[in-house]
């Protein structure tokens, strides 16, 4: 069996400010660091053989906290970065909604048709992360693999394994910071054991929607 744990990074400063991060970056908040420590404590006795993470610092910092003092390799890959939102990155959601309501509605309600100027489509992002995941799984057969990534890219990857359309990317569950989605692969296929699980939380987080 091969186990794949898909983990979103901890809460960031721009999550609180409701800004689009995309390929730009924002530091973990104090709560974001706590969320990663809660995750580490919950999975401290769980075998993890390797951690893959995007090259963005918010994911890498979460991965380092998850690793703790264990001797686990962390591999950073550009292919695991969040969707590139072009000129939208760094702007507040409400600012975008007021400035260009049609584009914002496409982003929210018909993501399969959306592309921010200078960015990539959801279809392109899905192909990128699915390709990376398939390579990772091929290299790590029979191992326990953690991937610390980003909210939208995680939903696209789960959508691939659940045979969901890109138009369903914003449906429940909400992918909260450090949430865990667990897929187990075997010779006959795979099963989804967790999707957006935050049972390790010690306090709720209702302020971290973001990409």
By annotation, the residues acting in catalysis are 9, 82
Do 125 and 80 touch, CB atoms closer than 8 A? no
Judging by beta carbons within 10 Å of its beta carbon (0-12, 13-18, 19+), is residue 57 exposed, middle or buried?
A: middle
Q: What number of residues does the chain have?
A: 211
Backbone dihedral region of 90: left (phi > 0), alpha (psi from -120 to 50 degrees) or beta? Answer: left
Strands (E), 61-207: 73-77, 144-149, 180-186, 189-197
Cα(127)–Cα(79) distance, integer angstroms: 10
Instruction: Summarize the chain as % helix, strand, coil (round to 5).
Output: 40, 20, 40
Chain Cα centroid distance, residue 85? 15
Rg over CA atoms, the chain: 16
Laid out side by side, the sheet with 2-8 consists of 73-77, 50-54, 144-149, 2-8, 180-186, 189-197
């Amino acid at each position: 069996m091969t186990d794949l744990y898909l983990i979103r990074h901890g809460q960031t400063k721009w999550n609180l400010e409701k800004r689009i991060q995309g390929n730009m970056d924002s530091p973990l908040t104090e709560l974001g660091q706590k969320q990663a420590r809660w995750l580490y404590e919950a999975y401290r006795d769980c075998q993890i053989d390797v951690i893959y993470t995007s090259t963005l610092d918010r994911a890498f910092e979460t991965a380092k906290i998850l690793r703790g003092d264990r001797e686990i390799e962390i591999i950073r890959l550009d292919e695991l970065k969040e969707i590139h939102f072009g000129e939208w990155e760094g702007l507040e959601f409400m600012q975008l909604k007021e400035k260009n309501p049609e584009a914002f509605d496409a982003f929210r309600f018909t993501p399969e048709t959306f592309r921010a100027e200078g960015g990539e489509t959801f279809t392109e992002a899905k192909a990128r992360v699915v390709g990376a995941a398939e390579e990772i799984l091929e290299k790590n057969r029979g191992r326990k693999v953690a991937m610390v990534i980003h909210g939208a890219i995680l939903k696209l990857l789960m959508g691939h394994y659940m045979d969901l359309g890109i138009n369903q990317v914003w449906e429940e569950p909400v992918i909260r910071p450090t949430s865990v989605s667990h897929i187990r692969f075997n010779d006959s296929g795979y099963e989804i054991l967790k999707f957006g699980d935050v049972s390790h939380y010690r306090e709720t987080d209702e302020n971290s929607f973001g990409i």
